[in-house]
Amino acid sequence: MNFSMNLSIYPSVIPNEIRVDIENMQKRLGYHIKNINLLLQALTRQSAIRQGIHYASKSNNQRLQWVGSNMFHSGIVYKLYEKYANNSYISTDYLNKVAINITSNMALVAEIGKRIGLASCVFRGSDEEIITSEILAHTFLAILGSITLDDGGQKAVHDVIERHWKWFLDNPEESFKRRPSSFHTRMPPRSATMPSRQRIRSSDFPNHGTEVL
């Protein structure tokens, strides 16, 4: 998919640097959310609303997280079925355990969120200065929810899952082995200070060594 950065689609109250970060995040994600309101809601934590961050959505991302969580599970099941439906050597019980392992591994969801640069895009209040793996995982699921309700629908969610969980879909046994630990990233909210870009290197998984600026 080709991406062209269009910063004019964002409300003028959103600082230009944040717009650039969001555009770059979507490029790494592999999907560009067309409904800007859904995108901004997916990035908005309740703490941002509570603090009155002026460029945050008026609605927090919890409902989108709920949608995304369900779509994540059904998407993993769909992709596993698609790959192994005709493989008589792999039982349905085994595939069910693989699906549970993958979808319950929120540290991996957070790791993927970190890798695409999601940490610098989360709208939050000053009481959430530290970006935890939980915050990143919940925000990533909200992004999946916004993709579901956007023009892309289920197919776009499946494509994102294939892109970022391909290693585990192609090597289901790895879901029983690789469980990254949680992490914390100290990054002041944009409303307080505009942080310099952080270099984060992901090396917990094969082919996951890309650098996020």
Across the 213 residues of the chain, what is the mean pLDDT of every consecutive 10-residue run? Answer: 75 94 96 96 97 95 98 97 94 96 95 96 93 95 97 93 96 81 54 38 39 34
Q: Hey, what are 59's tokens?
A: 């609605």
> For 212, which DSSP code?
E
Residue 69 is predicted with a pLDDT of 97
Query: Dihedral, CA atoms, 72, 75, 76, 79, nearest 10 degrees?
Result: -160
Q: Where are the domains of the chain?
A: 15-212
Q: How far apart are CA 203 and CA 206, in angstroms?
A: 7
Cα separation of 64 and 181, whole Å? 25
Fold of the domain built from segment(s) 15-212: Ribonuclease iii, N-terminal Endonuclease Domain; Chain A (1.10.1520)
Report CA Rg, the chain.
Answer: 17
